[in-house]
Every structure is written in structure tokens, then in C-alpha cells.
Amino acid sequence: MELHNITSASENLVTRGFSVKAFDVYGPSLEKAKEQGIEACCTPASAAEGAQVLCLMVVNAAQVDEVLFGAEGAAAAGSSVICFSTVPPSYQVKLRGRLDDLHKDIGLVDAPVSGGFVRAAQGQLSIMVSGTESAIKVARPVLSALTNPPAGSLAIVGNDVGAASNFKLINQVLCAIHIAVSGEAMALGANLGVNPRKLYNALKDSSFMFGNRVPWQLQRDGIPKSAMTIIHKDAGIVMDEAKLAAFHAPLSAVAEQVFTAALSAGLGKEDDGNVVMLWERLGGRSVAEQGSAKDAEEEAQQPGGEEAIETISDLLNGVYIVAAAEALAFARRKGMDLADVFKVVGTSAATSKPLVRFKDELSWPDKHSPVADQPSVAATLTSLNTVLREGKRVNTPLFLTQAAQQVFTVAANKGWEHEGASIIGKLWS
């Protein structure tokens, strides 16, 4: 087995009895690998020699090409390939063709992964998988070893490569927007004078990403968990695929620019959850806690801030609804089975309360009317306009909120003011 850009996953496989050979361009990683019982190799080709399964955990498609087809590439060994990297679905199809042209009967498994360093070490990653039955059969022991309960999951979503990457694409539409808006929401809350811990406690269940990433903003421990550069790369893949499909993706477009701005502001080495630091560098108040989380919890019990928290809740709900509509519409454009899409992303790191509540009318807007007991388009537009006024009052740029407001403005201009907010799904139908 060969792993490029060695991660905790390789160490986990060793503990589960696998014989692992590895290559990495970073020397210290190879030294650490040796300490964990991994055979360190000096080239991809030498690492792949004799391996039954070749695992690739690299940043992008260019690195996959280099590892497999470079001067000392690993493809010549003929090992079955698991591509764990998040790459464009169209690239997976091209990769399948290049491997077929070698006439070595090389199986390819499309297996984009999520979960971060900690869950990789625990063998509890979430992996979406597609490929031929024979290719998946060969790869199954490795995949199972990396996706153990309780947090791990293995979802087989198609019988050809590209399918799993499409699922990851839709997943990342939501994840990128939700991570970016967590920063936007917390920044506005801080500038409105709300205790950040109190704001987090009130809204932590609004989406997985808000609940998961905001603690990184509050308690900045310096331990790498999920790099800003990775979500920036994934947001770029989303927009590249949107352009290829001539698909309108307003929130994804803004999210990509938010992460581009974060990198430009020198935040490339930060965790993606710390995107809130972009607003801090624009002059906003810091949300970082100076003491322990326990001390912060005690301070959060003080009264006050309820009206501002309601404003932030309106911000998040407006963005989440548009994000869900955009993601599910993108899946429709790609011809994906939306029931299967929701089974995967609706229970993953991409989930939010509006996605779960409005999944039917957002997935099939021409077949389902908006559910009862939800804010109307007009009411949502009024709430978002209030949020934007508050942002302007405290000099806080609200990139995603403004984009969501524009989507609801289009819906209102179509005469849907009195319809439920989830009718915006029809804008893409």
C-alpha cells in the first residue's frame, strides 16, 4: 500500500494489521511513518511495487497525475487504486481512461473522504464510494478499516467512477457555504456586542458546521484539524463544475471568494473554521476566548443579547435555505438521484435544519408545495434586510447574507411574496 501525503489514516491501518508502504514528498512525514511501523519509500513507484491496493491521499488532480504517471509514477505497478482525494468528477472519468490505456486491468475506486486528522487516526472517516463491483471488492478491506463506527460511514453511491465525486461535490457546496457563513455570523454577533459563547450555545444546532467549527473560533488551540487551503480548493472545484454545467451558483460563488480573501489575508495555515479571522482583520472584534471554555460558559450565563441573537438566527436561516436550494438544484442538473443525495448529505457534515425540514420541496419544487408554518418569502426578505442594516451599522460586511437576500428578491419579483420561503427551489427548476 502506498500513501502520498501521509496522514493519520496510514497509522490507523498499521494498527489494524495492514502492511503499509508509503511515499511522501515531505521527509519528516516519512520519518514519523517509520516510527509507526510503516515502510518508508523514496518514490511512488517503489512504494507501489508489490502492493495490492494503492491509496492516494493528495490535495488535487495534478498531484494524482504526478503520483501515478510522473517520472517515477506508481501506476506502472498495476495495483488497484483508491483515490481518496476530492477532485472534479470529470477528472475521475479521465483518470479511468488513462489507467485503462495501460492495459494492466487496474481497478479504480472513486472514494472522496472527509473527517479530518483526528477521525482518520480513529479509523472513523466518512467515505463516499463508486466504481465497478470488482474494484470495490478489492478495496473493501481498506475502506472498511477506515470507516468504523460510531462516527465513520461508508456509502456506496454508484457503479462507476465520478459518481462518488459528484456526491462529494454537492456535499462541499453546502460545507463551504456553511463554514463561510459561520464566520460571517459570529463576526456580526461580536460586532453587535453579543457574548460569542452565548451566541454559539443558542445556535449550535442550526447546522453541523456551525456546531463543529465555531468552537475552533472560540478556543484557538493551534492544533491543525481542517485546512483553509483545502476548503478553498474544494470551493474552486464546485465553481469549475458549475461553469462547465452553466449552473447558477450564487452562494457557492461568494463562498469561494470569501476563502480566496482569507488566503489573501494570510490565513492559509489556519483551520477553515477560523475564517472568522478574515472579519477580524477587517477591523471586527475578536470572538476568541481569553480563558478556558469553562470560564466562558459561566460568562455566557449573563443576561442580554437576545435580540441580536435573533438577528443572527435570521441571517443563518436565510443563507441555509438558499444553500440547500442551490445544492439540490445542482444535483438535479447533474442527473443525480435526489433521494440518494439526501441520504448521504442530509446526515453528514453538510446538513442543516432547513435542509432537513424542506428537503422535499427543495428537491422536487414542481411536485411539492412549501410546507406550512414557515416564514414567507416577504417575511424572510424583511428579516434579511434588517440583518443587512445591522451589518452596515456596525461596519460588518455580510457577503453571503447579501447574496441570499438577492435570491429572495428575485423570488419576490416573481410574485411569490406570500409563498413559503422554501419556494425559492423553483428558481432553479
Burial class (CB within 10 angstroms; exposed 0-12, middle 13-18, buried 19+) of 293: exposed
| 145 and 195 together in one domain | no
Closest to 195 measured CA to CA, from 278, 273, 299: 299
Distance of CA 90 to the CA centre of its chain: 19
End-of-domain residue from the set 129, 160, 191:
160
Grid cell for residue 156:
456506496
Q: Please tell me the distance from the alpha carbon of residue 386 to that of residue 236, in angstroms, as a whole number.
A: 31
DSSP assignment letter at 281: H
Query: Tell me, what's the pLDDT at 27?
Result: 85
Grid cell for residue 46:
517503489
The CATH number that applies at residue 196 is: 1.10.1040.10
Tell me: the pLDDT tens digits for 329-340?
A: 999 999 999 999
| 305 and 173 together in one domain | yes
| 269 and 211 together in one domain | yes
| 125 and 182 together in one domain | no
| 59 and 200 together in one domain | no
Query: Tell me, what's the pLDDT at 29?
Result: 83
- How large is the C-alpha radius of gyration of the chain? 22
Grid cell for residue 205:
444546532
End-of-domain residue from the set 113, 140, 160:
160
| 177 and 298 together in one domain | yes
| 206 and 224 together in one domain | yes
Kindly report whether the peptide bond that precedes residue 150 is cis, defined as omega within 30 degrees of 0: yes
Q: What is the pTM of this model?
A: 0.94
Annotated active-site residue 168? The verdict is yes
| 378 and 313 together in one domain | yes
Query: Tell me, what's the pLDDT at 12?
Result: 85
Query: Tell me, what's the pLDDT at 6?
Result: 57
End-of-domain residue from the set 108, 131, 160:
160
Q: Which of 21, 104, 168, 225 is catalytic?
A: 168
The CATH number that applies at residue 141 is: 3.40.50.720
Query: Tell me, what's the pLDDT at 7?
Result: 59
3-class SS shares of the chain: helix, strand, coil, % to 5 = 60, 10, 35
| 139 and 174 together in one domain | no
| 40 and 95 together in one domain | yes
Measured CA angle at 8 (ends 220, 108), to 5 deg: 125
Q: Please tell me the distance from the alpha carbon of residue 244 to that of residue 219, in angstroms, as a whole number.
A: 40
| 150 and 178 together in one domain | no
Grid cell for residue 168:
462529494
Contact 236, 256 (CB under 8 A): yes
DSSP 127-175: EEEES-HHHHHHHHHHHHHTB-TTT-EEEEEESSTTHHHHHHHHHHHHH
Q: Please tell me the distance from the alpha carbon of residue 167 to that of residue 334, in angstroms, as a whole number.
A: 10
Q: Based on the structure, what is the number of domains in the chain?
A: 2
| 17 and 142 together in one domain | yes
Q: Please tell me the distance from the alpha carbon of residue 43 to that of residue 46, in angstroms, as a whole number.
A: 5
Q: Please tell me the distance from the alpha carbon of residue 264 to that of residue 413, in angstroms, as a whole number.
A: 36
Closest to 25 measured CA to CA, from 52, 77, 62, 79: 62
Q: Please tell me the distance from the alpha carbon of residue 263 to that of residue 233, in angstroms, as a whole number.
A: 11
Query: Tell me, what's the pLDDT at 76?
Result: 86
Residues of the chain predicted below pLDDT 50: 2, 4-5
Distances (CA, A) of 44 to 105, 139, 191: 19, 19, 50
**SS3 for 40-108, per residue?**
ECCCHHHHHCCCCEEEECCCCHHHHHHHHHCCCCCHHHCCEEEECCCCCHHHHHHHHHHHHCCCCCCCE
Distances (CA, A) of 239 to 41, 88, 109, 166, 247: 36, 10, 24, 13, 9
The DSSP bridge partners found for residue 113 are 127
Which residues constitute the domain of residue 275?
168-428
DSSP assignment letter at 227: B
Burial class (CB within 10 angstroms; exposed 0-12, middle 13-18, buried 19+) of 306: exposed
